[in-house]
Structure 1
Amino acid sequence: MTAIQRDRPKRSGRRVRYRLRVAAVAASLTLMCALAGAVAARVYHGQLLYLLVAGAAFGAFAIGFALRNRPAFLAPSASLVGLAAYLLAAIAITDDGADPLPATIVDALVNAVPRTLTALIPVEPAPDTVVVPVFLTWLAATLACEFAIRYGRTLLGCLPPALLYGAGLYLVGPNAEVGTVSAVAFCVLAAAALAVTAAPPERRPDTDAVVDGPAPSRAPALMGMVATAAVLLAVMALLVPVAARLVTASPGDPREYVEPPQLTDIDLNPLVRIAEWSKYPDQDLFKADTSADAWMRLAVLTEYDGTTWQAAGDFRTAGTVIPGSGDASYSADVEIIGLGGKLVPAAADPATVTGLPIAVNLTTRCLLTPDGLATGTAYHVDSALVAADPAAAENARANLADAATVAVPPGTPEIMATIADYIRTTYDTPYARAQGLADFLGQHYAYNPEAPSGHDLPSLGFFLGSPVDAGGQRGTSEHFAAAYAVIARLIGLPSRVVVGFEVPGGSSTVTAGQGSAWPEVDFDGVGWVRFDPMPPPDAVPVPPEDTLEQMEEETPSPEEDSGGGGEAEDFNDESLEQDGDFDDALTEDAGGLPVWVWYAIGVLLLACVPLVLKARRALRRRRRLTRGTPAERVAGAWAEVLASAARAGVKVPGHANAEEAAARLATLEADIGPLPRLVNAAAFAPHAVSESDADAAAAVASDYSGRIGHQVKRWKRFLT
């Protein structure tokens, strides 16, 4: 037997070991890419994305492995074609068929990144939310195959799946549980790939390494393994403390840096729609086929600045499933006819929506479609009906946990405070006061579909306090709901305004006449309870002044309470007026002093006016800045700043909030520092204001008056 014949079995064995080694590396890197792509799937709904990223990893590696010994340009070209085909298949699998497939493909490719980052968790696998993880998984698998299999650089081949793993962790952020098992499996696979190639055969990647010549010595390989292990241990010793600190830190959420879907002008203030709906009640808005009678909400408004009601919180893109809802007990098929804007009607709380791209407000659970509603738009919504029990609310306390639902803007009309005092003195419990307020508005005011739109404080004051012949005491549900919500907050009840539709069960066409606004009050342990302040049909309202004046007559005056009643002295006694001796005595006393003395006294009094005014202003400043609780002192400092600005010619409207007032005061080029923040804290959380905060506010007010003193007109400085 020749030497070549004796060496042939050895070469055959080495070739088999080489092929097994390459196959093991390929399998390890493929699984690493699949695991890295599956990290993002932890925030997706269902198991579909796990299957898609696993298929992308295996498909990309299969193409690269099959063409590893072909020309270098062939594998990337074939991989690109495979990626395009696989993305089209993924889009087709997740498409709901609402739009033509070409349009869906273009929309998914163009909007993949922003919609993936703004999608509400759990993310629904949709064409525009699966493109990014599938593309990145395919790309990582292709690069890993080229580096490790074609060029024999296994360590470099581990880099793409490692970067993909990091990208997946960034996308997940703090929104999923710790994936310890997948992290350990990823590290084990990487170690296996590196261990298999620690003693590589021939370096050239030809047809499975046709190995000739004697077997390479294992000593250098063993030395390399020892050196590599030593380096890895040193790196771990240095990085473990840093990694430990990172593990205990909360990761950032990339969704915070993406602008959420925005509302149009018609949706920012949906209460203004009520006036148009009232004037044209026969206008068809949408068709609805529902499983039961329900109120379908369009918007929930909790924040009021004295001018407009607005919804709190941002809208976040969601998939078919809306997280946080209970089991669906109500369904509705809706087809839009004449309802515009982006807000989507749905019964509370929506659980699933199909046929329409959806964003949800996490605070109010209302829906929005980024593309806007148009004639012919159709969707299906299942809801878990939220029905608060009024009987349970009768003995419940008001839920004051959210300061935004009890905040009252400054400048409320006097009529609102009068009605609030009447309700507060007439009823005892929170629920009785809430129902009593609804009854009061329903009994004393009338519905008028022609009433002009407006729910700012002056408009509400006109609606509540102006006489009937001037157009007051008549309004739409916009005025009733907005007035109720503001007065409820004056009483101490957390309130909000809801705009929506009363939709009967079965198939029907919802018209503008079914649209309305209504108030809701939040009770502890019960939730938001709807109240109806609207008057009954054909009811004749009782003038509110009759009831309120009767309350004032029945309320004893402070003199009567203190026992100072009885017959008062009549200072208009006719006998005194007709007594000639009395008049003569006054004339004689008056004529006893020379005229110039009276002039001198008058001049002296005029000269003392500026001194009196200055003393009065100094005493008022001292009282504002030094007396009362810390919150009252902060409010006093704010009042002092506003008064100083008014002396300098800059007047702040009464309805302006602290930030708006600060912007107006900035024209005087004098900084008021942290005072706006302290004012808001004093208004909404007075117990959180400390003595140091009050001292800081007083220092700001005193310094502010001195710095803008030169801007006050000279005659004002002289007189006041």
Structure 2
Amino acid sequence: MNETLPPPLIERTPPAPRRARRARYRLRVATVAVCLTLMCALAGAVAGRIYHGQLLALLVVGAAFAAFAIGFALRNRPAFLAPSASATGLAAYLLGAIVLTSDGADPLGTEIVDALVNAVPRTLTALIPVEPAPDTVVVPVFLSWLAATLACEFAIRYGRTLLGCLPPTLLYAAGLYLVGPNAAPGTLYAVAFCVLAAAALAVTAAPPERRPDRDAQVDGPAPSRTPALIGAVVTTTVLVAAVAVLGPAVARLVTTSPGDPREFVEPPQLTDIDLNPLVRIAEWAKYPDQELFIADTSADAWMRLAVLTEYDGTTWQATGDFRTAGTVIPGAGEADYSADVEIIELGGKLVPAAADPATVTDLPIAVNLYTRCLLTPDGLATGSKFHVDSALVHTDPAAAETARADLSDAATVAVPMGTPEIMATIADYINTEYDTPYAKAQGLADFLGQHYAFDPEAPSGHDLPALGFFLASPVDAGGQRGTSEHFAAAYAVIARLIGLPSRVVVGFDVPEGASTVTAAQGLAWPEIAFDGVGWVRFDPMPAAGAVPVPPEDTLEQMEEETPSPEEASGGGGEAEDFNDEALEQDGDFNDEAGQEDSGLPVWVWYAAAALLLACVPLALKARRALRRRRRLSRGSPAERVAGAWAEVLSEAARAGVKVPGHANAEEAAARLAVLAADIGVLPRLVNAAAFAPGAVAEEDARAAAQVAEAYPRSVRHQVKRWKRFLT
């Protein structure tokens, strides 16, 4: 028996061509890995445009590189190892990100739980620029890590480069959605992302057809790379040129702003005393020694608690919603004022701060971008401490004296219905005595300060009846005296009657240095908006120890000095004789009024509308008759047969039997059989018209028309009454 020769030994060192092909393959794999890693990092960094500083961008870039490095290192290992190692790495990376962004105010365990539980809502509600904090970096870091892991698995382990580009693309879209309309268009981001994607696809344009467990299959002849390489280069060049050239042009054509996900998130909710903080003034006036908070400030300032712009005749309320913010408040100038605050018995959620706050530390806050007031979602508790830096708002008194009133915001000039007559009387007096808007604003403050008295025992209330009682009731009945709540609210309403935009502010007069702010320092004051100057504070409160002058004395004097309309126009003297024939005209006043009001009576318009509605059924019926006539009398015999068939299907639909468009004539006839109406030879004629239109004669068209004309009468009793009436 012939012995079988042993198989030849396997070469331990591949020939040079195979080594070159293996090196080229590994270079392509490395290139794809680098491109996809950069795509993930770039997609994650897109969201960093609305974050404060560069910390978030660094975190997401690090997450993308770390996740791809783990997947790439384990590409030739069993498939279950990469997800396990990636999950472990993600947990460690998230822990490091939370530690890095934590302020250390709470234990680490509490920070981790709070960040994981509240990450999504706080990321969506955080005010822009978003402050990198544990609960605002968890989501971007997690998504960047996940996208890099999936991209590595798809593209590197399984060789599906196009599928590997999908996770970074979805991450890029998520970043754009998070940014919304709150950042400039990222054209460079888009161009770079497209270039990286094109490069990753280009280098895999001529890969080995199969990929075994370790490296490329390199047996067999080397494939030709020239055509594929040329195509990849051309495609990449065209793509980059299109994005670079057409991108700006397309961006200019887009006229709508992207949606903002923050609009769909419910803002922090206020407590009762925060919704209407003016009611706190009465309690503070009764207990002036109550300690509210301790403040260590760098200068004298008015620390605001709430700014109220809307008045419905019952309560003053703030405009706009509160949005969660980090330590940095957007829109403020350079801080030149600082305050360290420790809460004693202030309560509520509103946070005292001088306008305009720029940074707040040691306290989670939300801000109203319209009024620039602050709120803490968890509420103020005894012992709460925080530091606030503000860019104090400085107004130029000289500029305000010559400025016009700023009437750009309708909410600040809206006057509710039912204002008391005393308010209109005071407004007329101010308009008569003063000329410029600033003089009117200061004159109104002087009028209230001179004619009304401060009374800490006055009951709370700033609705129109309460303000009317405060302004008009006699002293012995409890009127003409009140707290800063009454003075500020009455001033703001009368200012709007004068034509001045007004609002009410609740806050505290806090001196420089360390002091305990008591309830006596809490008060309300009005502000007036001037064009080019801003909001200016006015003080309508009476001076200490001043004796008020009864307001009726001044107002009655105004009425006596104000000339009547006849006197103002030069009339007077002898009374006119209205029976004088020289004053008589051809027609009486009623005739003239009737001629001036030559418009049609209202009942005519109602009658015309009723007539139009009555004509709708007639119009619909006429439309159906004309359509039937057109279908049955125009066109070739085949077209008229098709028209008759369409008329039958339309009438069947009115009767409640609808035939799908894909059904043939026999299937349609079977559906129409439920109506028990004869359609004769119409299905056969329809098939003939569809497949042999030349064989349809005039007799066939007339027979089809007869069926179509008789069919509505056959199914009439099955049509609902309202349809028969309307159509």
Question: TM-score under structure 2 normalisation?
Answer: 0.75
Tell me if structure 1 keeps the 8 A contact 2:294–2:516. Answer: yes
**More moved, 251-260 vs 59-68:** 251-260
Verify: 1:30 aligned to 2:75, yes or no.
no
Q: How many residues align?
A: 588
Q: Which range moves more in the overlay, 125-134 or 10-19?
A: 10-19
| 8 A contact 1:173–1:252 mirrored in 2 | yes
Computing the radius of gyration over CA atoms, which structure comes out larger, 1 or 2?
Answer: 2
What per-residue deviation string (whole Å, max 9, x for no partner) do you get for residues 279-305 of structure 1? 111111111111011000001111111
1:376 to 379, 383, 402: 383
**Residue 521 of structure 1: CA displacement?**
0.7
Tell me, in whole angstroms, the C-alpha distance in 1 between the residues paired with 2:493 and 2:603: 32
For residue 161 of structure 2, the aligned residue among 154, 160, 185 is 154
Greater shift in the superposed pair: 325-334 or 424-433: 424-433
1:346 paired residue among 348, 353, 369: 353
2:122 to 109, 115, 125: 115
Matches within 5 A, 1:214-613: 214-218=220-224, 222=227, 226=231, 248-249=253-254, 250-561=257-568, 565=572
User: Aligned partners of 2:179 and 2:253: how far apart in 1?
Assistant: 16
Tell me if the contact between 2:484 and 2:525 (Cα under 8 Å) persists in the aligned partners. yes
Q: Is the 8 A contact 2:326 2:364 kept in 1?
A: yes
Q: Which amino acid aligns with 1:339?
A: L
The question of whether the paired residues in 1 share the 8 Å contact of 2:181 and 2:258 is answered with yes
1:140-179 pair list within 5 angstroms? 140-179=147-186
Give me the whole-angstrom Cα distance separating, in 2, the residues matched to 1:370 and 1:296. Answer: 19
Q: Runs ≥4 in structure 1, deviation > 6 angstroms?
A: 227-234, 240-244, 622-627, 698-702
Q: What do residues 458-505 of structure 1 show as CA deviations (whole Å, max 9, x unaligned)?
A: 100000000111111110000000000001111111111000000011
* Residue 7 of structure 1, CA deviation: 4.7
Contact 2:199 2:236 in 1 (8 A): no
The alpha-carbon deviation at position 14 of structure 1 amounts to 2.5
Whole-angstrom CA distance in 1 between matches of 2:67 and 2:597: 73
CA-CA distance at 1:625 after TM superposition: 8.4
Report how far residue 233 of structure 1 moved.
Answer: 8.1
Seen in structure 2, the aligned counterparts of structure 1 residues 703 and 341 have a Cα distance that, compared at 3 Å, is farther
What letter matches 1:528 in structure 2?
W
Q: 2: distance between equivalents of 1:433 and 1:441?
A: 12
- The residue identity in structure 2 corresponding to 1:158 is C
Residues in 1 aligned to 2:236 and 2:328: alpha-carbon distance in whole angstroms: 49
Residues 660-711 of structure 1: CA distance to partner in whole angstroms, max 9, x if unpaired? Answer: xxxxxxxxxxxxxxxxxxxxxxxxxxxxxxxxxxx9xx9699759x99xxxx
Task: Name structure 2 gaps, 5 residues minimum.
Answer: 1-7, 577-589, 611-727
Give the CA deviation at 1:212: 5.4
AA aligned opposite 1:171: L
Distance change >3 Å, CA 529–CA 237, structure 1 → 2: closer
Identical columns (%): 78
The residue type equivalent to 1:114 in the other structure is P
Is the 1:151–1:205 contact (alpha carbons within 8 Å) kept by the matching residues of 2?
no
Greater CA drift, 417-426 or 548-557:
548-557
Q: Does 1:98 align with 2:102?
A: no
**Residue 496 of structure 2 aligns to which amino acid in structure 1?**
R
Looking at structure 1, the residues matched to 602 and 236 of structure 2 have their Cα atoms a distance apart, in angstroms, of: 61
Work out whether 1:135 is the aligned partner of 2:142: yes
- The whole-number CA distance in structure 1 between the counterparts of 2:13 and 2:111 is 64
Counterpart residue identity of residue 152, structure 1: G
- Residue 16 of structure 1 deviates from its aligned partner by 2.1
Pair 1:213-2:214 in alignment:
no
1:99-143 deviation line (CA, Å, top 9, x unaligned): 222222112112211221222211111111111111110000000
**What are the equivalent positions in structure 2 for 1:560-709 lying under 5 Å apart?**
560-561=567-568, 565=572
Cα pair 1:198 1:225 within 8 Å, conserved: no
**Letter of the 2:80 counterpart:** F
1:3 Cα deviation from its structure 2 partner: 9.9
Q: C-alpha distance in 2, partners of 1:332/1:498? A: 19
CA contact (8 A) 2:404 2:437 kept: yes
Distance 1:86 1:458 in 2: 62
Partners of 2:555 and 2:411 lie apart in 1 by: 29
Counterpart residue type for residue 407 of structure 1 = A
Report the 3-state secondary structure (helix = DSSP H, G, I; strand = E; otherwise coil) of the residue aligned with 1:536. coil
Q: CA contact under 8 A between 1:150 and 1:205: conserved in structure 2?
A: no
Query: What is the alpha-carbon root mean square deviation over aligned residues?
Result: 3.3
Cα distance change of structure 1 residues 354 and 6 upon mapping to structure 2, 3 Å threshold? closer
**Shift in alpha-carbon separation, 1:233–1:82, aligned structure 2, 3 A:** same
1:404-445 Cα offsets, whole Å, 9 max, x none, are: 111111110000011111111111111111111111101111
Instruction: Encode CA deviations 1:157-195: one digit per residue, 9 max, x unaligned.
Output: 111001111111111122212222222221111111112
Please identify, of 110-119 and 57-66, the stretch whose mean Cα deviation from structure 2 is larger. Answer: 110-119
What is the CA–CA distance in structure 2 between the aligned matches of 1:10 and 1:151, rounded to whole Å? 25
